[in-house]
C-alpha cells in the first residue's frame, strides 16, 4: 500500500501553489514598504526556548509541541510559532546593535499537534512579523495597520479586535479580581479549574459554553490597567483612528501565549467556521530580556497562510494558474531536432516554453498547447522545415504568420521573443 502523508500535514500542489505565491508576494511587498527585513531561522530549536517564552502552562507547551530527544539525549522542539526563534536569532546575532529599531519577518512552516480540522493543521505556515526596539503606541498602530493592509491588498475583509493585557504592574490586581470572580462559580469545567491555579487569565479563553456564559460577567482587564497602560492603550486607538483602520475593542480577548503585555489583537473572519483568527499578535515588552537579551520592547503578529488561502479560494479570489508564453509543435524527427534547440534558446530569452518530445500528431500537440494555456504556438512540420520557415499562431486571436528561419538561432529567437512579448 502507498505511504500517505501524516494526519494534519498537507501537500500544496500545483494549482494551489499560485495562491500561496500570491499571498507571499503581496505580504513581502507590503512588509518591505514598512521597512521590515526578512530573516530565516531554523525549524528545530532547544525545547527550553519555547517553554521560557510561550509559557510552561499554555496549551501549546503542555499539549501541542512536537518535542523529541536528539541522538545525544537533548530535548528539541519543532517550532510551534515564529516569535521565539526570531528573538533568539535577534539576541544571538546582536541585531539591536546596528539597528536599535529592528523590523523582522519570516515566512515558513510551524508545527502544533492540534486536532486537525478546516483551517487547522499540524504543519501550518505563518507570516510572522516582529518589530523590536520601540514601545511607542504609534508603533502598535502602525503594525496593526500593516496587517490590515496585507489583508486588504489580498482582496479580503476581516475585522480587527484589540485589547490591552496590561503589564506586570497592573496584571496582579486583575488576576486577583478575576480569581475572586471565579471563586463565585461552582460549575467550572476541569480545564478552568486547572487554569485557575496555573494561569487565571487563560480561563477567559475556555470554549466550554457553560463557562463562557459565566465569563460574560467577568471583570474587564481594561478597568484594571495602570495609568501608563491605560494611556498607552488610548494612544494606540488614536493611532488607529488617524490611519483610518477600523477596530473593535474586545476586553475578553486573551491570547494562548504567555509573553504578551499591553496591546493584543486578532484579525477575525466569519467565513472559516471555528478557526476564525486569520492572524493575531501583540506587544511583548519583557520577552527579549526574559530570553537573555537586552531590555528591548517588541510587538508582532503571525498570520496563518492556510486560512488566508482558504478565504481566497472560497471567495473565488484565488489567482488562476498563468499560461505559458509559447508552445512548440514540431512534426517529424528533423523538425523535432531543430525545435529542441529553438525551445532551449527561447528559454534563454526568459520565456516560458514547452514542447512535445514524443512526436505526437499535430492535433494532439495543439491540444497540449491549449491545456498549457499558451499565448502562442510555433509550428514546424516537414514543409516548413524544407522552406526554412515556421508558423506562429496567436492562440487568442487565432491569427497565424509565417516567419522565415535563419541559422543564427540566438538572434532569431531574440527577435521572436519581442514578437511574443
Interface residue list for ligand HAM (CB under 6 A): 81-83, 112, 114, 119-121, 124, 126, 128, 130, 256-257, 277-282, 300-302, 304, 306-307
**CB closer to ligand HAM, 257 vs 378:** 257
Q: How far apart are the first and last CA of the chain?
A: 48
Residue nearest to ligand HAM (CB): 304
DSSP states of 98-130: H-SSEEEEEEEEEE-----BTTB-SEEEEEEEE
Residue number with CB closer to ligand HAM (130 or 356): 130
R_g over Cα of the chain: 28
Supply the minimum distance, in Å, between the C-beta of residue 116 and ligand HAM.
Answer: 8
- Shorter beta-carbon distance to ligand HAM: residue 10 or 237: 10
User: Taking the complex as a whole, how short is the minimal distance between the CB of residue 112 and ligand HAM, in angstroms?
Assistant: 5
Q: How far is the CB of 276 from ligand HAM (least distance, A)?
A: 9
Strands 261-268 and 248-249: unpaired
- 280 or 380: whose CB is closer to ligand HAM? 280
Q: How far is the CB of 267 from ligand HAM (least distance, A)?
A: 7
Q: Which is nearer to ligand HAM, 23 or 280 (CB)?
A: 280
C-alpha cell at 163: 485589547
Cα torsion through 380, 385, 387, 391, rounded to 10: 10
Give the three-state DSSP class for 354: strand
Q: How far is the CB of 78 from ligand HAM (least distance, A)?
A: 13
Q: How far is the CB of 319 from ligand HAM (least distance, A)?
A: 21
Q: Which is nearer to ligand HAM, 119 or 355 (CB)?
A: 119
Least separation, in Å, of the C-beta of 202 and ligand HAM?
13
Smallest distance from ligand HAM to CB 84, Å? 8
Q: Which is nearer to ligand HAM, 50 or 327 (CB)?
A: 50
Sequence-separated (6 or more) residues with CB below 8 Å from residue 79:
41, 42, 43, 44, 45, 50, 85, 110, 111
**Residues 295/261, Cβ–Cβ less than 8 Å:** no
In the complex with ligand HAM, the residue whose CB is nearer, 133 or 282, is 282
The set of cell numbers assigned to 160 is 480587527
Nearer to ligand HAM, 137 or 304 (CB): 304
Give dist(CA 276, CA 158) in Å, integer.
Answer: 10
Q: Could you tell me the smallest distance in angstroms from the CB atom of residue 61 to ligand HAM?
A: 12
Q: Where are the alpha helices (DSSP H) in 243-332?
A: 287-290, 305-314
- How far is it, in rounded angstroms, from Cα 215 to Cα 184? 11
CA dihedral 213, 216, 218, 219 (to 10 degrees): 180
Does residue 193 contact residue 234 with C-beta atoms inside 8 Å?
no
Helix H or strand E encompassing 380 = strand 376-380
Amino acid at each position: 500500500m502507498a505511504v500517505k502523508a501524516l494526519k494534519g500535514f498537507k501537500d500544496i500542489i500545483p494549482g494551489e501553489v499560485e495562491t500561496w505565491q500570491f499571498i507571499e508576494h503581496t505580504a513581502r511587498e507590503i512588509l518591505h514598504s514598512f521597512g521590515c527585513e526578512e530573516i530565516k531561522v531554523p525549524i528545530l530549536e532547544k525545547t527550553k526556548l519555547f517553554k521560557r517564552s510561550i509559557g510552561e502552562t499554555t496549551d501549546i507547551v503542555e499539549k501541542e509541541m512536537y518535542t523529541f530527544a536528539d541522538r545525544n539525549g537533548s530535548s528539541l522542539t519543532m517550532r510551534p510559532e515564529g516569535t521565539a526563534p526570531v528573538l533568539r536569532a535577534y539576541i544571538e546575532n546582536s541585531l539591536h546593535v546596528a539597528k536599535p529599531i529592528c523590523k523582522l519577518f519570516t515566512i515558513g512552516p510551524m508545527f502544533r499537534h492540534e486536532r486537525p480540522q478546516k483551517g487547522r493543521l499540524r504543519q501550518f505556515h505563518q507570516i510572522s512579523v516582529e518589530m523590536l526596539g520601540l514601545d511607542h503606541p504609534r508603533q502598535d498602530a502602525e503594525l496593526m495597520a500593516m496587517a490590515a493592509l496585507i489583508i486588504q491588498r489580498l482582496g479580503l475583509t476581516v475585522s480587527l479586535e484589540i485589547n490591552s493585557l496590561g503589564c506586570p504592574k497592573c496584571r496582579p490586581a486583575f488576576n486577583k479580581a478575576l480569581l475572586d470572580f471565579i471563586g463565585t462559580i461552582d460549575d467550572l469545567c476541569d480545564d478552568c479549574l486547572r487554569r485557575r491555579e496555573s494561569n487565571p487569565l487563560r480561563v477567559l479563553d475556555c470554549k466550554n459554553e457553560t463557562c463562557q456564559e459565566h465569563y460574560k460577567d467577568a471583570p474587564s482587564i481594561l478597568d484594571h490597567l495602570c495609568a501608563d497602560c491605560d494611556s498607552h492603550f488610548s494612544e494606540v486607538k488614536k493611532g488607529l483612528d488617524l490611519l483610518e483602520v477600523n477596530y473593535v475593542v474586545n476586553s475578553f480577548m486573551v491570547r494562548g501565549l504567555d509573553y504578551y503585555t499591553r496591546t493584543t489583537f486578532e484579525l477575525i473572519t466569519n467565513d472559516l467556521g471555528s478557526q476564525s483568527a486569520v492572524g493575531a499578535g501583540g506587544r511583548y515588552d519583557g520577552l527579549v530580556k526574559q530570553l537573555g537579551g537586552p531590555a528591548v520592547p517588541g510587538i508582532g503578529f503571525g498570520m496563518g497562510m492556510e486560512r488566508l488561502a482558504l478565504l481566497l479560494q472560497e471567495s473565488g479570489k484565488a489567482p488562476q494558474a498563468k499560461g505559458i508564453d509559447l508552445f512548440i509543435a514540431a512534426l517529424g524527427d528533423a523538425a523535432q531536432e531543430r525545435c529542441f534547440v529553438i525551445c532551449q534558446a527561447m528559454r534563454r530569452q526568459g520565456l516560458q516554453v514547452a514542447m512535445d518530445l514524443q512526436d505526437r500528431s499535430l492535433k494532439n500537440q495543439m491540444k497540449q498547447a491549449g491545456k498549457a494555456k499558451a499565448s502562442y504556438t510555433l509550428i514546424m512540420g516537414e514543409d516548413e522545415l524544407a522552406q526554412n520557415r515556421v508558423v506562429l499562431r496567436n492562440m487568442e486571436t487565432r491569427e497565424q504568420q509565417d516567419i522565415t528561419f535563419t541559422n543564427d538561432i540566438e538572434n532569431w529567437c531574440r527577435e521572436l521573443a519581442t514578437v511574443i512579448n
